[in-house]
Structure 1
Amino acid sequence: MADAACVVGSATGFVDLGYGQTVFLGIVQGITELVPVSSSAHMRIVPALLGWPDPGAAFSAAMQMAALVGVVTYFWKDIRGLAGGSLAALKNRDFESFPFQLTLWIGISTLPLVVAGLALAHSLNSCGSPLRSIWAVGLACLVMGLLLAATEILARHRRALPSVRPLDLLLIGLAQAGALIPGVSRSGATLTAALSLGFKREEAARISFLLGLPAIALAGIKEFWELHKLSLDGHGWSLLAVGLLAGGISSLIAIWGLMRFLERFSTWPFVIYRILLGLALIGAAATGLIA
Protein backbone atom coordinates (compact mmCIF):
# COMPACT_ATOMS: atom_id res chain seq x y z
CA MET A 1 0.00 0.00 0.00
CA ALA A 2 2.83 2.39 0.78
CA ASP A 3 4.35 1.78 -2.62
CA ALA A 4 0.99 2.41 -4.31
CA ALA A 5 0.61 5.69 -2.43
CA CYS A 6 4.12 6.62 -3.50
CA VAL A 7 3.24 6.04 -7.16
CA VAL A 8 0.02 8.07 -6.86
CA GLY A 9 1.78 10.94 -5.11
CA SER A 10 4.47 11.06 -7.76
CA ALA A 11 1.91 11.02 -10.59
CA THR A 12 -0.19 13.86 -9.17
CA GLY A 13 2.53 16.09 -7.74
CA PHE A 14 1.39 18.91 -10.03
CA VAL A 15 -1.78 19.48 -7.97
CA ASP A 16 0.41 21.29 -5.43
CA LEU A 17 1.40 23.87 -8.04
CA GLY A 18 -0.33 27.19 -8.63
CA TYR A 19 -1.76 28.33 -11.95
CA GLY A 20 1.20 30.60 -12.67
CA GLN A 21 3.62 27.74 -12.00
CA THR A 22 1.59 25.44 -14.24
CA VAL A 23 1.62 27.98 -17.08
CA PHE A 24 5.38 28.37 -16.73
CA LEU A 25 5.96 24.60 -16.75
CA GLY A 26 3.54 24.24 -19.68
CA ILE A 27 5.66 26.67 -21.69
CA VAL A 28 8.84 24.82 -20.70
CA GLN A 29 7.26 21.49 -21.67
CA GLY A 30 5.89 22.85 -24.95
CA ILE A 31 9.26 24.15 -26.08
CA THR A 32 11.50 21.34 -24.84
CA GLU A 33 9.20 18.53 -25.99
CA LEU A 34 9.84 19.42 -29.64
CA VAL A 35 13.40 20.74 -29.42
CA PRO A 36 16.11 18.04 -28.98
CA VAL A 37 17.03 18.99 -25.39
CA SER A 38 14.73 16.63 -23.40
CA SER A 39 11.45 17.88 -21.96
CA SER A 40 11.52 15.25 -19.20
CA ALA A 41 14.93 16.50 -18.06
CA HIS A 42 13.75 20.10 -17.91
CA MET A 43 10.52 19.16 -16.15
CA ARG A 44 12.65 17.39 -13.55
CA ILE A 45 15.28 20.14 -13.27
CA VAL A 46 13.29 23.39 -13.44
CA PRO A 47 10.99 22.61 -10.46
CA ALA A 48 14.00 21.41 -8.44
CA LEU A 49 15.92 24.64 -9.08
CA LEU A 50 12.89 26.78 -8.24
CA GLY A 51 12.01 24.78 -5.14
CA TRP A 52 8.68 23.61 -6.59
CA PRO A 53 7.18 20.11 -6.21
CA ASP A 54 8.12 17.61 -8.92
CA PRO A 55 5.01 17.65 -11.18
CA GLY A 56 5.58 13.97 -11.95
CA ALA A 57 6.00 11.84 -15.06
CA ALA A 58 2.22 11.64 -15.58
CA PHE A 59 2.00 15.43 -15.84
CA SER A 60 4.78 15.50 -18.43
CA ALA A 61 3.14 12.73 -20.45
CA ALA A 62 -0.31 14.34 -20.32
CA MET A 63 1.22 17.64 -21.40
CA GLN A 64 2.45 15.93 -24.56
CA MET A 65 -1.05 16.48 -25.92
CA ALA A 66 -0.05 20.13 -26.23
CA ALA A 67 2.93 19.08 -28.34
CA LEU A 68 0.59 16.92 -30.42
CA VAL A 69 -1.45 20.00 -31.28
CA GLY A 70 1.70 21.80 -32.40
CA VAL A 71 2.93 18.91 -34.55
CA VAL A 72 -0.47 18.26 -36.19
CA THR A 73 -0.94 21.97 -36.92
CA TYR A 74 2.50 22.45 -38.44
CA PHE A 75 2.56 19.18 -40.45
CA TRP A 76 -1.12 19.16 -41.35
CA LYS A 77 -0.37 19.07 -45.09
CA ASP A 78 1.88 16.00 -44.65
CA ILE A 79 -0.60 14.28 -42.34
CA ARG A 80 -3.51 14.95 -44.68
CA GLY A 81 -1.48 13.60 -47.60
CA LEU A 82 -0.56 10.42 -45.74
CA ALA A 83 -4.13 9.85 -44.55
CA GLY A 84 -5.68 10.54 -47.95
CA GLY A 85 -3.05 8.50 -49.78
CA SER A 86 -3.46 5.56 -47.40
CA LEU A 87 -7.25 5.55 -47.77
CA ALA A 88 -6.91 5.70 -51.56
CA ALA A 89 -4.40 2.85 -51.45
CA LEU A 90 -6.79 0.71 -49.41
CA LYS A 91 -9.63 1.49 -51.79
CA ASN A 92 -7.53 0.63 -54.86
CA ARG A 93 -5.65 -2.22 -53.13
CA ASP A 94 -2.40 -0.44 -53.98
CA PHE A 95 -0.48 -1.56 -50.91
CA GLU A 96 2.87 -0.56 -52.40
CA SER A 97 2.01 3.14 -52.54
CA PHE A 98 4.40 5.39 -50.63
CA PRO A 99 1.76 7.05 -48.35
CA PHE A 100 0.35 3.66 -47.32
CA GLN A 101 3.78 2.11 -46.72
CA LEU A 102 4.99 5.12 -44.73
CA THR A 103 1.85 5.18 -42.57
CA LEU A 104 2.04 1.42 -41.99
CA TRP A 105 5.68 1.48 -40.94
CA ILE A 106 5.22 4.51 -38.72
CA GLY A 107 2.65 2.46 -36.84
CA ILE A 108 4.88 -0.62 -36.68
CA SER A 109 7.87 1.45 -35.57
CA THR A 110 5.88 2.76 -32.61
CA LEU A 111 5.62 -0.75 -31.10
CA PRO A 112 9.08 -0.74 -29.41
CA LEU A 113 8.09 2.36 -27.46
CA VAL A 114 4.74 0.84 -26.47
CA VAL A 115 6.37 -2.37 -25.22
CA ALA A 116 9.12 -0.54 -23.33
CA GLY A 117 6.60 1.92 -21.90
CA LEU A 118 4.43 -0.85 -20.50
CA ALA A 119 7.48 -2.60 -19.04
CA LEU A 120 8.83 0.54 -17.36
CA ALA A 121 5.52 2.17 -16.38
CA HIS A 122 5.88 1.41 -12.67
CA SER A 123 9.52 2.54 -12.49
CA LEU A 124 8.86 5.77 -14.39
CA ASN A 125 5.91 6.83 -12.23
CA SER A 126 7.19 5.76 -8.82
CA CYS A 127 8.66 8.37 -6.51
CA GLY A 128 12.34 7.89 -5.81
CA SER A 129 12.79 6.13 -9.17
CA PRO A 130 16.50 5.92 -10.11
CA LEU A 131 15.47 6.71 -13.69
CA ARG A 132 14.32 10.17 -12.53
CA SER A 133 17.38 10.92 -10.39
CA ILE A 134 19.52 13.94 -11.23
CA TRP A 135 22.46 11.61 -11.82
CA ALA A 136 20.52 9.62 -14.43
CA VAL A 137 19.14 12.73 -16.14
CA GLY A 138 22.57 14.34 -16.31
CA LEU A 139 24.23 11.22 -17.70
CA ALA A 140 21.48 10.79 -20.32
CA CYS A 141 21.87 14.43 -21.43
CA LEU A 142 25.63 14.03 -21.73
CA VAL A 143 25.50 10.76 -23.67
CA MET A 144 22.84 12.02 -26.09
CA GLY A 145 24.80 15.23 -26.65
CA LEU A 146 27.87 13.20 -27.60
CA LEU A 147 25.84 10.95 -29.91
CA LEU A 148 24.31 13.96 -31.67
CA ALA A 149 27.83 15.40 -32.08
CA ALA A 150 28.96 12.13 -33.66
CA THR A 151 26.17 12.31 -36.26
CA GLU A 152 27.16 15.85 -37.18
CA ILE A 153 30.77 14.78 -37.69
CA LEU A 154 30.32 11.38 -39.33
CA ALA A 155 26.97 11.34 -41.13
CA ARG A 156 26.24 12.57 -44.64
CA HIS A 157 23.11 14.72 -44.61
CA ARG A 158 21.82 14.05 -48.14
CA ARG A 159 18.71 11.87 -47.98
CA ALA A 160 15.12 13.15 -48.22
CA LEU A 161 11.83 11.71 -46.94
CA PRO A 162 10.91 9.85 -50.19
CA SER A 163 14.03 7.67 -49.75
CA VAL A 164 12.99 6.40 -46.31
CA ARG A 165 12.87 2.60 -45.97
CA PRO A 166 11.04 0.35 -43.47
CA LEU A 167 14.38 -0.52 -41.82
CA ASP A 168 15.10 3.20 -41.34
CA LEU A 169 11.80 3.69 -39.52
CA LEU A 170 12.33 0.60 -37.37
CA LEU A 171 15.76 1.85 -36.26
CA ILE A 172 14.37 5.30 -35.50
CA GLY A 173 11.50 3.64 -33.64
CA LEU A 174 13.96 1.69 -31.49
CA ALA A 175 15.79 4.94 -30.72
CA GLN A 176 12.47 6.51 -29.74
CA ALA A 177 11.95 3.82 -27.10
CA GLY A 178 15.07 5.05 -25.32
CA ALA A 179 13.37 8.39 -24.78
CA LEU A 180 11.41 6.88 -21.88
CA ILE A 181 14.52 7.58 -19.80
CA PRO A 182 14.39 11.22 -18.58
CA GLY A 183 17.17 13.21 -20.22
CA VAL A 184 17.27 11.23 -23.47
CA SER A 185 14.57 13.26 -25.34
CA ARG A 186 12.16 11.69 -27.82
CA SER A 187 12.83 14.31 -30.48
CA GLY A 188 16.55 14.19 -29.75
CA ALA A 189 16.77 10.40 -30.00
CA THR A 190 14.78 10.16 -33.22
CA LEU A 191 16.53 13.16 -34.78
CA THR A 192 19.93 11.67 -33.93
CA ALA A 193 18.93 8.30 -35.38
CA ALA A 194 17.58 9.88 -38.59
CA LEU A 195 20.71 12.00 -39.00
CA SER A 196 22.92 8.93 -38.52
CA LEU A 197 21.03 7.31 -41.41
CA GLY A 198 22.08 10.15 -43.69
CA PHE A 199 18.95 12.32 -43.82
CA LYS A 200 19.15 16.07 -44.24
CA ARG A 201 18.62 17.92 -40.97
CA GLU A 202 15.19 19.33 -41.82
CA GLU A 203 14.10 15.99 -43.31
CA ALA A 204 15.35 14.15 -40.22
CA ALA A 205 13.21 16.47 -38.09
CA ARG A 206 10.19 15.87 -40.33
CA ILE A 207 10.58 12.10 -40.00
CA SER A 208 11.10 12.46 -36.25
CA PHE A 209 7.86 14.37 -35.78
CA LEU A 210 5.74 12.25 -38.12
CA LEU A 211 6.95 9.04 -36.47
CA GLY A 212 6.35 10.59 -33.06
CA LEU A 213 2.67 11.36 -33.67
CA PRO A 214 1.31 7.96 -32.51
CA ALA A 215 3.73 7.88 -29.56
CA ILE A 216 2.81 11.35 -28.35
CA ALA A 217 -0.92 10.67 -28.75
CA LEU A 218 -0.77 7.29 -26.99
CA ALA A 219 1.29 8.66 -24.08
CA GLY A 220 -1.09 11.55 -23.58
CA ILE A 221 -4.25 9.42 -23.79
CA LYS A 222 -2.79 6.82 -21.42
CA GLU A 223 -1.89 9.39 -18.77
CA PHE A 224 -5.25 11.14 -19.03
CA TRP A 225 -6.90 7.76 -18.41
CA GLU A 226 -4.57 7.08 -15.47
CA LEU A 227 -5.36 10.47 -13.96
CA HIS A 228 -9.07 9.78 -14.46
CA LYS A 229 -8.71 6.52 -12.52
CA LEU A 230 -6.99 8.42 -9.70
CA SER A 231 -10.17 10.52 -9.37
CA LEU A 232 -8.39 13.80 -10.04
CA ASP A 233 -10.55 16.66 -8.77
CA GLY A 234 -11.72 19.76 -10.64
CA HIS A 235 -8.77 21.81 -9.45
CA GLY A 236 -6.33 19.25 -10.84
CA TRP A 237 -8.08 19.14 -14.21
CA SER A 238 -8.18 22.94 -14.40
CA LEU A 239 -4.43 23.06 -13.74
CA LEU A 240 -3.89 20.60 -16.60
CA ALA A 241 -6.11 22.65 -18.91
CA VAL A 242 -4.17 25.84 -18.22
CA GLY A 243 -0.86 24.04 -18.72
CA LEU A 244 -2.08 22.47 -21.97
CA LEU A 245 -3.12 25.85 -23.37
CA ALA A 246 0.27 27.38 -22.57
CA GLY A 247 2.06 24.28 -23.86
CA GLY A 248 0.09 24.18 -27.11
CA ILE A 249 0.97 27.76 -28.03
CA SER A 250 4.65 27.36 -27.11
CA SER A 251 4.84 24.02 -28.98
CA LEU A 252 3.69 25.57 -32.24
CA ILE A 253 6.22 28.39 -31.90
CA ALA A 254 8.96 25.90 -31.01
CA ILE A 255 8.37 23.59 -33.97
CA TRP A 256 8.20 26.50 -36.40
CA GLY A 257 11.46 27.90 -35.04
CA LEU A 258 13.21 24.50 -35.05
CA MET A 259 12.31 23.74 -38.68
CA ARG A 260 13.48 27.19 -39.80
CA PHE A 261 16.70 26.70 -37.83
CA LEU A 262 17.50 23.25 -39.24
CA GLU A 263 16.94 24.46 -42.80
CA ARG A 264 19.84 26.87 -42.33
CA PHE A 265 22.09 25.60 -39.55
CA SER A 266 23.51 22.45 -37.94
CA THR A 267 22.55 20.94 -34.58
CA TRP A 268 25.80 22.00 -32.89
CA PRO A 269 24.09 24.54 -30.58
CA PHE A 270 21.93 21.71 -29.22
CA VAL A 271 25.00 19.48 -28.88
CA ILE A 272 26.83 22.09 -26.82
CA TYR A 273 23.77 22.84 -24.69
CA ARG A 274 23.14 19.16 -23.92
CA ILE A 275 26.74 18.41 -23.02
CA LEU A 276 27.00 21.46 -20.76
CA LEU A 277 23.62 20.67 -19.18
CA GLY A 278 24.65 17.07 -18.56
CA LEU A 279 27.94 18.08 -16.95
CA ALA A 280 26.19 20.73 -14.84
CA LEU A 281 23.62 18.24 -13.58
CA ILE A 282 26.21 15.59 -12.75
CA GLY A 283 28.20 18.25 -10.89
CA ALA A 284 25.07 19.47 -9.07
CA ALA A 285 24.19 15.93 -8.03
CA ALA A 286 27.75 15.21 -6.89
CA THR A 287 27.91 18.35 -4.73
CA GLY A 288 24.36 18.03 -3.41
CA LEU A 289 23.28 21.32 -5.01
CA ILE A 290 20.21 19.52 -6.39
CA ALA A 291 18.91 16.57 -4.39
Structure 2
Amino acid sequence: MDLIQALILAIVQGLTEFLPVSSSGHLVLPAALLGWKDQGLAFDVAVHFGSLLAVVVYFRRDILSLFTAWCTSLAKREASDDSRLAWWVVVGTLPAIVLGFLFDDFIEAHLRTAWVLGTTTLVFGLLLAFAQRFAADKSCRDLTLMMVLIIGFAQALALIPGTSRSGITITAAAFLGLSLFEASRFSFLLSIPVISGAALLKSLDLFGAEAAIDWMVLVSAMALSGITAFLCIGWFMRWVERIGLVPFALYRVVLAMAIFATAYWQV
Protein backbone atom coordinates (compact mmCIF):
# COMPACT_ATOMS: atom_id res chain seq x y z
CA MET A 1 0.00 0.00 0.00
CA ASP A 2 1.48 3.33 -1.07
CA LEU A 3 1.70 5.67 1.94
CA ILE A 4 1.27 8.95 0.02
CA GLN A 5 -1.72 7.66 -1.94
CA ALA A 6 -3.31 6.30 1.23
CA LEU A 7 -2.89 9.59 3.10
CA ILE A 8 -4.29 11.63 0.20
CA LEU A 9 -7.33 9.35 -0.03
CA ALA A 10 -7.74 9.52 3.76
CA ILE A 11 -7.92 13.32 3.57
CA VAL A 12 -10.41 13.08 0.70
CA GLN A 13 -12.52 10.64 2.72
CA GLY A 14 -12.45 12.91 5.77
CA LEU A 15 -13.39 15.98 3.75
CA THR A 16 -16.23 14.40 1.82
CA GLU A 17 -17.78 11.86 4.23
CA PHE A 18 -19.96 14.46 5.96
CA LEU A 19 -20.25 17.19 3.34
CA PRO A 20 -23.20 16.74 0.93
CA VAL A 21 -20.90 16.19 -2.07
CA SER A 22 -20.60 12.39 -2.51
CA SER A 23 -17.48 10.79 -1.06
CA SER A 24 -17.63 7.92 -3.58
CA GLY A 25 -17.35 10.36 -6.46
CA HIS A 26 -14.20 11.85 -5.01
CA LEU A 27 -12.61 8.50 -4.33
CA VAL A 28 -13.18 7.16 -7.84
CA LEU A 29 -11.60 10.11 -9.67
CA PRO A 30 -8.03 9.74 -8.37
CA ALA A 31 -8.09 6.06 -9.22
CA ALA A 32 -9.38 6.76 -12.73
CA LEU A 33 -7.23 9.77 -13.56
CA LEU A 34 -4.00 8.74 -11.86
CA GLY A 35 -4.24 4.98 -12.25
CA TRP A 36 -4.20 4.37 -8.51
CA LYS A 37 -5.11 0.89 -7.36
CA ASP A 38 -7.82 0.14 -4.82
CA GLN A 39 -6.23 0.53 -1.38
CA GLY A 40 -8.07 -2.54 -0.14
CA LEU A 41 -10.54 -3.59 2.54
CA ALA A 42 -8.25 -2.77 5.48
CA PHE A 43 -7.92 0.81 4.27
CA ASP A 44 -11.71 1.14 3.95
CA VAL A 45 -12.13 -0.06 7.52
CA ALA A 46 -9.48 2.35 8.80
CA VAL A 47 -10.90 5.50 7.19
CA HIS A 48 -14.46 4.56 8.19
CA PHE A 49 -13.35 4.18 11.80
CA GLY A 50 -11.62 7.55 11.51
CA SER A 51 -14.84 9.18 10.29
CA LEU A 52 -16.83 7.43 13.01
CA LEU A 53 -14.50 8.68 15.74
CA ALA A 54 -14.76 12.20 14.35
CA VAL A 55 -18.56 12.38 14.50
CA VAL A 56 -18.70 10.67 17.91
CA VAL A 57 -16.17 13.09 19.41
CA TYR A 58 -17.87 16.13 17.87
CA PHE A 59 -21.34 15.15 19.10
CA ARG A 60 -20.16 13.50 22.33
CA ARG A 61 -22.37 15.68 24.55
CA ASP A 62 -25.43 15.05 22.38
CA ILE A 63 -24.70 11.34 22.32
CA LEU A 64 -24.35 11.15 26.10
CA SER A 65 -27.59 13.11 26.63
CA LEU A 66 -29.51 11.03 24.09
CA PHE A 67 -28.21 7.72 25.44
CA THR A 68 -29.00 8.68 29.04
CA ALA A 69 -32.49 9.82 28.11
CA TRP A 70 -33.05 6.69 26.01
CA CYS A 71 -32.07 4.41 28.91
CA THR A 72 -34.35 6.41 31.23
CA SER A 73 -37.24 6.04 28.80
CA LEU A 74 -36.75 2.27 28.82
CA ALA A 75 -36.37 1.97 32.58
CA LYS A 76 -39.00 4.48 33.77
CA ARG A 77 -41.12 4.92 30.64
CA GLU A 78 -40.57 8.67 30.86
CA ALA A 79 -40.39 10.46 27.52
CA SER A 80 -38.40 13.63 26.88
CA ASP A 81 -37.17 15.54 23.86
CA ASP A 82 -33.83 13.73 24.08
CA SER A 83 -35.35 10.28 24.45
CA ARG A 84 -37.65 10.87 21.48
CA LEU A 85 -34.70 12.04 19.37
CA ALA A 86 -32.76 8.94 20.40
CA TRP A 87 -35.64 6.74 19.27
CA TRP A 88 -35.89 8.73 16.03
CA VAL A 89 -32.22 7.96 15.31
CA VAL A 90 -32.98 4.25 15.80
CA VAL A 91 -36.10 4.37 13.62
CA GLY A 92 -34.38 6.45 10.93
CA THR A 93 -31.60 3.87 10.67
CA LEU A 94 -33.87 0.87 10.06
CA PRO A 95 -34.68 1.50 6.36
CA ALA A 96 -31.00 1.58 5.43
CA ILE A 97 -30.39 -1.68 7.33
CA VAL A 98 -33.33 -3.51 5.74
CA LEU A 99 -32.82 -2.25 2.18
CA GLY A 100 -29.07 -2.68 2.45
CA PHE A 101 -29.56 -6.34 3.43
CA LEU A 102 -32.00 -6.89 0.54
CA PHE A 103 -30.26 -5.01 -2.26
CA ASP A 104 -26.56 -4.81 -1.42
CA ASP A 105 -25.58 -7.59 -3.82
CA PHE A 106 -27.64 -6.07 -6.65
CA ILE A 107 -26.13 -2.63 -6.09
CA GLU A 108 -22.63 -4.08 -5.93
CA ALA A 109 -23.15 -5.98 -9.20
CA HIS A 110 -25.03 -3.42 -11.28
CA LEU A 111 -24.85 0.12 -9.90
CA ARG A 112 -21.19 0.69 -9.13
CA THR A 113 -20.41 2.25 -12.51
CA ALA A 114 -19.08 5.67 -13.41
CA TRP A 115 -22.25 6.50 -15.36
CA VAL A 116 -24.48 5.74 -12.36
CA LEU A 117 -22.09 7.62 -10.09
CA GLY A 118 -22.13 10.70 -12.32
CA THR A 119 -25.91 10.63 -12.73
CA THR A 120 -26.66 10.37 -9.01
CA THR A 121 -24.07 13.02 -8.20
CA LEU A 122 -25.77 15.38 -10.65
CA VAL A 123 -29.45 14.62 -9.94
CA PHE A 124 -29.21 14.61 -6.17
CA GLY A 125 -26.98 17.67 -6.30
CA LEU A 126 -29.69 19.62 -8.11
CA LEU A 127 -32.26 18.30 -5.65
CA LEU A 128 -30.07 19.54 -2.82
CA ALA A 129 -30.21 23.10 -4.15
CA PHE A 130 -33.98 22.89 -4.67
CA ALA A 131 -34.52 21.64 -1.09
CA GLN A 132 -33.05 24.82 0.37
CA ARG A 133 -36.19 26.71 -0.68
CA PHE A 134 -38.25 24.57 1.73
CA ALA A 135 -35.96 24.78 4.77
CA ALA A 136 -37.79 26.63 7.56
CA ASP A 137 -37.37 26.82 11.33
CA LYS A 138 -38.42 23.37 12.54
CA SER A 139 -36.02 21.59 14.88
CA CYS A 140 -35.42 17.97 15.78
CA ARG A 141 -38.06 18.39 18.52
CA ASP A 142 -40.66 18.77 15.77
CA LEU A 143 -39.88 15.45 14.10
CA THR A 144 -42.71 12.95 13.76
CA LEU A 145 -42.67 9.26 12.92
CA MET A 146 -43.64 9.94 9.30
CA MET A 147 -40.94 12.60 8.92
CA VAL A 148 -38.29 10.29 10.37
CA LEU A 149 -39.32 7.43 8.08
CA ILE A 150 -39.09 9.71 5.05
CA ILE A 151 -35.59 10.80 6.08
CA GLY A 152 -34.69 7.19 6.85
CA PHE A 153 -35.77 5.93 3.43
CA ALA A 154 -33.91 8.86 1.87
CA GLN A 155 -30.80 7.72 3.74
CA ALA A 156 -31.29 4.24 2.27
CA LEU A 157 -30.96 5.77 -1.21
CA ALA A 158 -27.35 6.53 -0.31
CA LEU A 159 -26.67 2.82 -0.86
CA ILE A 160 -26.54 3.88 -4.53
CA PRO A 161 -23.06 5.29 -5.23
CA GLY A 162 -22.92 9.05 -5.75
CA THR A 163 -26.07 9.85 -3.79
CA SER A 164 -24.22 11.12 -0.68
CA ARG A 165 -25.65 9.97 2.65
CA SER A 166 -25.37 13.39 4.28
CA GLY A 167 -26.61 15.10 1.13
CA ILE A 168 -29.79 13.07 0.74
CA THR A 169 -30.72 13.17 4.44
CA ILE A 170 -30.19 16.92 4.66
CA THR A 171 -32.21 17.28 1.45
CA ALA A 172 -35.12 15.25 2.85
CA ALA A 173 -35.06 17.06 6.19
CA ALA A 174 -34.98 20.47 4.49
CA PHE A 175 -37.96 19.51 2.30
CA LEU A 176 -39.80 18.67 5.55
CA GLY A 177 -39.16 22.16 6.93
CA LEU A 178 -36.23 21.67 9.27
CA SER A 179 -33.70 24.45 9.41
CA LEU A 180 -30.44 23.70 7.64
CA PHE A 181 -28.63 23.53 10.99
CA GLU A 182 -31.15 21.08 12.48
CA ALA A 183 -31.29 19.05 9.26
CA SER A 184 -27.50 18.73 9.35
CA ARG A 185 -27.49 17.84 13.04
CA PHE A 186 -30.01 15.04 12.55
CA SER A 187 -28.14 13.84 9.47
CA PHE A 188 -24.88 13.57 11.41
CA LEU A 189 -26.55 11.79 14.34
CA LEU A 190 -28.08 9.32 11.87
CA SER A 191 -24.64 8.69 10.43
CA ILE A 192 -23.31 7.18 13.67
CA PRO A 193 -25.16 3.83 13.59
CA VAL A 194 -24.82 3.58 9.80
CA ILE A 195 -21.06 4.16 9.76
CA SER A 196 -20.67 1.91 12.81
CA GLY A 197 -22.51 -0.90 11.03
CA ALA A 198 -20.53 -0.46 7.83
CA ALA A 199 -17.22 -0.44 9.70
CA LEU A 200 -18.22 -3.53 11.68
CA LEU A 201 -19.24 -5.49 8.57
CA LYS A 202 -16.04 -4.55 6.77
CA SER A 203 -14.05 -5.55 9.86
CA LEU A 204 -15.69 -8.98 9.89
CA ASP A 205 -14.79 -9.41 6.21
CA LEU A 206 -11.26 -8.39 7.05
CA PHE A 207 -10.83 -11.32 9.45
CA GLY A 208 -11.15 -13.71 6.52
CA ALA A 209 -8.67 -11.85 4.36
CA GLU A 210 -5.14 -13.18 3.99
CA ALA A 211 -3.43 -10.03 2.72
CA ALA A 212 -0.66 -8.54 4.85
CA ILE A 213 -1.63 -5.41 6.76
CA ASP A 214 0.60 -2.34 6.93
CA TRP A 215 -0.44 -1.03 10.35
CA MET A 216 1.57 2.18 10.15
CA VAL A 217 -0.25 3.19 6.98
CA LEU A 218 -3.64 2.18 8.35
CA VAL A 219 -3.25 4.00 11.66
CA SER A 220 -1.98 7.10 9.86
CA ALA A 221 -4.91 6.99 7.43
CA MET A 222 -7.43 6.52 10.24
CA ALA A 223 -5.99 9.44 12.23
CA LEU A 224 -5.83 11.74 9.22
CA SER A 225 -9.33 10.83 8.09
CA GLY A 226 -10.68 11.41 11.60
CA ILE A 227 -8.97 14.77 12.11
CA THR A 228 -10.05 16.01 8.68
CA ALA A 229 -13.64 14.83 9.21
CA PHE A 230 -13.81 16.46 12.67
CA LEU A 231 -12.67 19.81 11.31
CA CYS A 232 -15.04 19.47 8.37
CA ILE A 233 -18.06 18.77 10.61
CA GLY A 234 -17.25 21.78 12.78
CA TRP A 235 -16.90 24.07 9.80
CA PHE A 236 -20.09 22.81 8.16
CA MET A 237 -22.22 23.13 11.31
CA ARG A 238 -21.02 26.70 11.86
CA TRP A 239 -21.52 27.84 8.28
CA VAL A 240 -24.34 25.83 6.69
CA GLU A 241 -27.08 28.35 7.47
CA ARG A 242 -24.90 31.23 6.28
CA ILE A 243 -23.76 29.80 2.96
CA GLY A 244 -26.71 27.47 2.28
CA LEU A 245 -26.65 24.38 0.09
CA VAL A 246 -26.34 25.94 -3.36
CA PRO A 247 -22.50 26.06 -3.38
CA PHE A 248 -22.40 22.32 -2.65
CA ALA A 249 -24.96 21.67 -5.37
CA LEU A 250 -22.94 23.64 -7.92
CA TYR A 251 -19.81 21.77 -6.88
CA ARG A 252 -21.65 18.47 -7.42
CA VAL A 253 -22.59 19.53 -10.95
CA VAL A 254 -18.91 20.17 -11.73
CA LEU A 255 -17.95 16.86 -10.12
CA ALA A 256 -20.57 15.00 -12.14
CA MET A 257 -19.25 16.51 -15.37
CA ALA A 258 -15.74 15.40 -14.40
CA ILE A 259 -16.97 11.87 -13.71
CA PHE A 260 -18.83 11.73 -17.04
CA ALA A 261 -15.77 13.03 -18.87
CA THR A 262 -13.54 10.45 -17.18
CA ALA A 263 -15.99 7.64 -17.98
CA TYR A 264 -16.22 8.73 -21.62
CA TRP A 265 -12.42 9.02 -21.91
CA GLN A 266 -11.99 5.48 -20.59
CA VAL A 267 -14.43 3.92 -23.06
Task: Return the TM-score normalized by structure 1.
Answer: 0.85
**RMSD, aligned CA:** 1.9
Spell out the pairing of 1:189-200 with structure 2 (5 A cutoff): 189-200=168-179
Q: 1:59 to 1:135 in 2, by over 3 A?
A: farther
How far, CA to CA, are the matches of 2:34 and 2:44 in structure 1?
Answer: 17
1:213-238, Cα deviation, whole Å (9 max, x unpaired): 11011011110111112234232x54
Structure 1 residue 31: deviation in Å? 0.9
Task: Give the match for residue 26 of structure 2.
Answer: 42
Q: Is 1:142 the equivalent of 2:126?
A: no
Q: Is 1:165 the equivalent of 2:144?
A: yes
Candidates 7, 16, 24, aligned match of 2:8: 24
Spell out the pairing of 1:1-291 with structure 2 (5 A cutoff): 17-55=1-39, 59-60=43-44, 63-94=47-78, 96-123=79-106, 129-153=109-133, 155-235=134-214, 237-286=215-264, 288=265, 290=266
User: Which letter maps to 1:152?
Assistant: Q
How far, CA to CA, are the matches of 2:144 and 2:252 in structure 1?
Answer: 29
How far, CA to CA, are the matches of 1:278 and 1:250 in structure 2?
Answer: 23
User: Which letter maps to 2:89?
Assistant: I
Between 50-59 and 259-268, the greater mean CA deviation after superposition:
50-59
Find the residue that maps to 1:234 and give its secondary structure.
Answer: coil
Structure 1 residue 131: deviation in Å? 1.9
1:180-216, Cα deviation, whole Å (9 max, x unpaired): 1111111111111111111111111001011121101
Between 209-218 and 106-115, the greater mean CA deviation after superposition:
106-115
Find the residue that maps to 1:34 and give its secondary structure.
Answer: coil
Q: For structure 1, list consecutive stretches of 5 or more residues without a partner in the other structure.
A: 1-16
Find the residue that maps to 1:132 and give its secondary structure.
Answer: coil
Q: How many residues align?
A: 267
Given that residues 137 and 182 in structure 1 are in contact (C-alpha distance below 8 angstroms), is that contact kept between their aligned partners in structure 2? yes
How far, CA to CA, are the matches of 2:167 and 2:182 in structure 1?
Answer: 14
User: Which letter maps to 2:124?
Assistant: M
Q: 1:63 to 1:119 in 2, by over 3 A?
A: farther
* Identity percentage of aligned residues: 38
How far, CA to CA, are the matches of 1:113 and 1:232 in structure 2?
Answer: 30
How far, CA to CA, are the matches of 2:213 and 2:105 in structure 1?
Answer: 25
Q: For structure 2, list consecutive stretches of 5 or more residues without a partner in the other structure.
A: none
Given that residues 46 and 221 in structure 2 are in contact (C-alpha distance below 8 angstroms), is that contact kept between their aligned partners in structure 1? no
Given that residues 124 and 163 in structure 2 are in contact (C-alpha distance below 8 angstroms), is that contact kept between their aligned partners in structure 1? yes
How far, CA to CA, are the matches of 2:42 and 2:29 in structure 1?
Answer: 16
Structure 1 residue 48: deviation in Å? 1.5
Find the residue that maps to 2:17 and give its secondary structure.
Answer: helix
Given that residues 63 and 220 in structure 1 are in contact (C-alpha distance below 8 angstroms), is that contact kept between their aligned partners in structure 2? no
Structure 1 residue 70: deviation in Å? 1.1
Structure 1 residue 58: deviation in Å? 7.5
How far, CA to CA, are the matches of 1:267 and 1:77 in structure 2?
Answer: 26
How far, CA to CA, are the matches of 2:85 and 2:254 in structure 1?
Answer: 36
Q: 1:262 to 1:132 in 2, by over 3 A?
A: same
Q: 1:55 to 1:139 in 2, by over 3 A?
A: farther
Q: 1:43 to 1:145 in 2, by over 3 A?
A: same
How far, CA to CA, are the matches of 1:119 and 1:45 in structure 2?
Answer: 28
Find the residue that maps to 1:63 and give its secondary structure.
Answer: helix
Q: 1:41 to 1:57 in 2, by over 3 A?
A: farther
Given that residues 113 and 173 in structure 1 are in contact (C-alpha distance below 8 angstroms), is that contact kept between their aligned partners in structure 2? yes
